[in-house]
Structure 1
Amino acid sequence: MIHAASGYSEIRSWEKAAVEASKLALEKAGLSRASTVFLFATSSHRKQLDKILPRIKKITGAEHLIGSSGWGILTEELEIERRPGLAVLVVDGPELEISSLALENLQENNFMAGAAAGNWLKTLDLPPEAVVTFADPFSFQSPHFFDGLEINYGYIPLIGGCAGEDGREGKTYQWAGTQNLYDAVSLVSLGGALRHATGLARSCQPFGETFQVTRSEGNLIYEMDGRPAYDILLESLSLIEFSSSSPPVKGDDILQQVFLGLPVKSFQTDFAQSPFMIRHILGVNAKKGLFSCVSPVEEGEFVTFTVRNPEFARQDMESMLSELQTRIRPEEARFGIYINCCARGEALYGQGNHDVSKIRSFFPKLPVIGIFSYGELAPIDHVNHLHHYSGALSLFAEK
């Protein structure tokens, strides 16, 4: 049987927080030690991570200690934003197959890092169910990492996301064991007696029409439906009706609320009912009639515009949780990992603890741990993707 439980601490002292969170998790799980421990910390603890990691490893007896910094952290009980926090999830069971790895110097070559991850997976006795991944968002180039991994190993579900921070240092941290790193990716393979299911909830609602990109170059979009892309963007913005619960929007901030919706598969034209990826519109050039997107956009692809909408986000969260219940029943789920975009939480809903309260209502006894992230990993139709402005919940149950 798999034993799992979470603990957290809001104590500012790193030592007291490490002890409180670890012992609470062990006590709730009925364990004296745990083979695998997930640990997340807010930026307030960043200067003490080299002390926190060995202390928690010693308290829990963890063979595998994995995690990252977050803009905020969460458990099934609460979300901690804009204040100090540590969260610990202990996992143990006789039939689990767990392995962990940290890869440094990620920025130098993401493709080779993905290939190295593939080599590591080849050494495992059994193929894992999934690989939980925490990457430095300032170094991680997901397409290259995915390519290196899949060319060398093949498809394996990657879940987790990009680490976060509070903006004071401009640096995030990833760890495996007592190695506290940056410009890195930490990975833990979960297998053996485990099965999993992942769901994705979005913050942004498609609006207006679907357009075909008829001229583009890299991340620059010149024409849509044969017309200047800038003109179509302006026309689309005029269609927006912000709800009363939406964050207030000023003219200069409109591109902080409106994003491009990109397809997840070829020839996708439906964005209302089908999955899609949310990407920033970086800027516009009225003279040239173009706008730029954070990701490359291929000519011939269909795209749409999306807008942050808390009401849509609430509904999508409930739909995601309801769908997950059909794949893993609440009484079967042993633990969950929830990676939540840093632009959700209080910034989206105007209140804290929204998402964890929803998770608790659908999965009342589920131990959960997670971060407020700079990117969320979740596969769609057996293809790995890095998402933004989303919440990705992965549930684990016994086979």
Structure 2
Amino acid sequence: MKWVGSLSTRVSLEAAVQEVTQQVLSGLEGRSPDLGILFVSNTFTSEYPRLLPLVAEKINIKHLVGCSGGGIVGDGQELEQLPALSLLVASLPNVEIETFHIVEEELPDLDSPPDTWQALIGADPREQPSFVILGDPFSFPITDFLRGLDFAYPSAVKVGGLGSSGGLGANALFCSDRNGNYKLHRQGLVGVALQGDITIDAVVAQGCRPIGQTLQVSDCDRNIILALDDKSPLEVLQDVVSELSPSDRDLAQHSLFIGVVMNEFKLMPEQGDFLIRNIIGVDPKTGAIAVGDRMRPGQRIQLHLRDAKASEEDLEEALTRYHNQVGANPPSAAVMFSCLGRGERLYGKPNFDSALFGKYMGNIPVGGFFCSGEIGPVGGTTFLHGYTSAFGMFRVRK
């Protein structure tokens, strides 16, 4: 397995393609490029139709996926709203690669059996595939797709992100078809399934820290929490916030979230054991709280705060834990999917997540982009996140 990453900041699309393809061909040292993952800045919006023909002129990558984004990641840099082109390629002997493009009309019903979803994707669940998924947020029901994919491939890791070039029809999705031809799509979802001598590990940092104690949902209606520990949710929230430091109380005015405990059998959940969801409204008359996800009675939750410090600590803890887990079999490369709300606007300095990643993972090839929604697992289930950095780590399967 050989991975090579490249990044160009040339303002000319021709020059950018020339630069990234030269870099990866040189790094492959004569090996065949079996997989390419391509990300392009939305500063090239008008030139999306020209990109794939230019790439095809310079390099023959057997399987290709990619998309456009409001910021591009590569070579240790995070280029936000600047011209950039990132290409991550790999020579993958003994790896079977299946790319796919799906539009909403092709999705099976959620009650369909697993083999219906497997036929759509084309990957054999017995081969333990891993997935990279790139979608358009305006034209595709990504949450339904993730539910179906988890149903069909329950043990598979899925990571990815949603394009962030702009509004309806503004995003570009790239995917090679089964004849090896590169196609530009304006809607739906593209992805790649990898099976054989490769695995993808997911590292998901949601950027929050827990406050207060865990609470139990006593009563709820869909996404409305009506009682917590048999008390008014608003009163419980106010009690927790009143015990915070003055700075955290100020932060809670605009950066307070709900964390849902994902492992119901874990008595003392820790940072990383929660699925973070927005508080989208409070009814002062009834004390009910509306949450950005469906709730159910008996679930445990904990309030969370998000800021730059919490985001840094959460990512550092996640990378430390992963670094200790993989030990002598570290990743060969990675893809990074980071929220548009992170980056320099959160940390006040550039390349923050990439630099922290490099501190723990070393100088491995990385490609990625800033998303309008990040895809990654929490507690064994795949979710669409916000304000998150989700990494897919490519390793040789042992």
Task: Verify same fold: TM over 0.5.
Answer: yes
CA distance in 2, matches of 1:116, 1:12: 44
* Cα shift readout 1:337-392 (whole Å, capped 9, x = no counterpart): 11122222112211111111122222223001111122322234543233332222
2:179 counterpart residue number: none
Correspondences of 1:1-399 after superposition (within 5 Å): 2-31=1-30, 34-105=33-104, 111=110, 117-121=117-121, 124=124, 127-165=127-165, 167=166, 171-177=170-176, 178-241=182-245, 254-255=253-254, 257-266=255-264, 270-329=268-327, 332-399=330-397
Counterpart code for 2:185: L
The percent of aligned pairs where both chains have the same amino acid is: 24
**Deviations along 1:282-308, whole A, 9 cap, x unmatched?**
122222322211111112211111111
- Amino acid of the structure 1 residue aligned with 2:303: F
Q: Is the 8 A contact 1:115 1:148 kept in 2?
A: no
In 2, the alpha carbon distance for the partners of 1:238 and 1:22 equals: 56
Q: 1:50 to 1:31 in 2, by over 3 A?
A: farther
Moved more, 217-226 or 109-118: 109-118
Amino acid at match of 2:45: R
Amino acid at match of 1:217: D
Change in 2 beyond 3 A, CA 1:91/1:69: same
Q: 1:218 to 1:125 in 2, by over 3 A?
A: closer
Question: Does structure 1 retain, via aligned residues, the 8 Å contact 2:107–2:145?
Answer: no
Count of residues in Structure 1 that have an aligned counterpart in Structure 2: 391
Q: Secondary structure at the match of 1:83?
A: coil
The CA distance in 2 between the partners of 1:13 and 1:195, in whole Å, is 36
* Structure 1 letter corresponding to 2:164: G
Of residues 266-275 and 56-65 in structure 1, the stretch that sits farther from structure 2 once superposed is 266-275
2:172 is matched by which residue type in structure 1?
A: Y
Post-superposition offset of 1:106: 6.4
Tell me the C-alpha RMSD between the 2 structures: 3.1
* Deviation at residue 170 of structure 1 after TM alignment: 7.8
Deviation, 1:59, is 1.9
Return closer, same or farther for 1:10/1:116 CA change in 2, 3 Å cut-off. farther
Question: CA–CA distance in 1 between the matches of 2:125 and 2:288?
Answer: 51
Q: Deviations along 1:73-123, whole A, 9 cap, x unmatched?
A: 111421111222211101113322111001013698774799765214555
Report the secondary structure of 2:363's partner residue: coil
Query: In the alignment, residue 361 of structure 1 is paired with which amino acid?
Result: K
Tell me if structure 2 keeps the 8 A contact 1:267–1:302.
Answer: no
- Give the whole-Å Cα distance in 2 for the aligned partners of 1:268 and 1:139: 38
CA contact (8 A) 1:106 1:183 kept: no
Report the Cα offset of residue 328 of structure 1. 3.4
Amino acid at match of 1:305: L
Any idea what SS the aligned residue of 1:27 has?
helix
The 2-side partners of 1:152 and 1:303 are apart by 28
Tell me the distance in 2 between the aligned counterparts of 1:106 and 1:284.
Answer: 36
**What SS does the aligned partner of 1:137 have?**
coil
SS in 1 for 2:214: strand
CA contact (8 A) 2:43 2:81 kept: no
Distance across 1 between alignment mates of 2:144 and 2:365: 33
Cα gap change, 1:224 to 1:19, in 2 (>3 Å): same
Secondary structure class of the residue paired with 1:378: strand
Structure 1: 5+ residue runs without aligned partners? Answer: none
Q: 1:125: how far off?
A: 9.9
CA contact (8 A) 2:102 2:190 kept: yes
Helix, strand or coil for the counterpart of 2:212? strand
**Distance in 2 between the 1:325 and 1:364 partners?**
10
Structure 2: which amino acid aligns with 1:370? G
Unaligned ranges ≥5, structure 2? 177-181
SS of the counterpart of 2:377? coil
What is the CA distance between 1:238 and its match in structure 2?
A: 3.7
Q: Note the alpha carbon deviations across 1:117-166, whole angstroms, 9 max, x for none.
A: 5214555597244111112233554553233234445442212232223x
Structure 2 CA distance for partners of 1:66 and 1:369, relative to 1, 3 Å: same
Q: 1:102 to 1:286 in 2, by over 3 A?
A: same
2:213/2:302 contact within 8 Å kept: yes
Question: 1:82, 1:153 → 2: CA distance?
Answer: 36
Q: 1:274 to 1:85 in 2, by over 3 A?
A: closer
Pick closer, same or farther for the CA change 1:92–1:274 going to 2, 3 Å: closer
Could you tell me how far apart the structure 1 residues matched to 2:385 and 2:56 are?
31
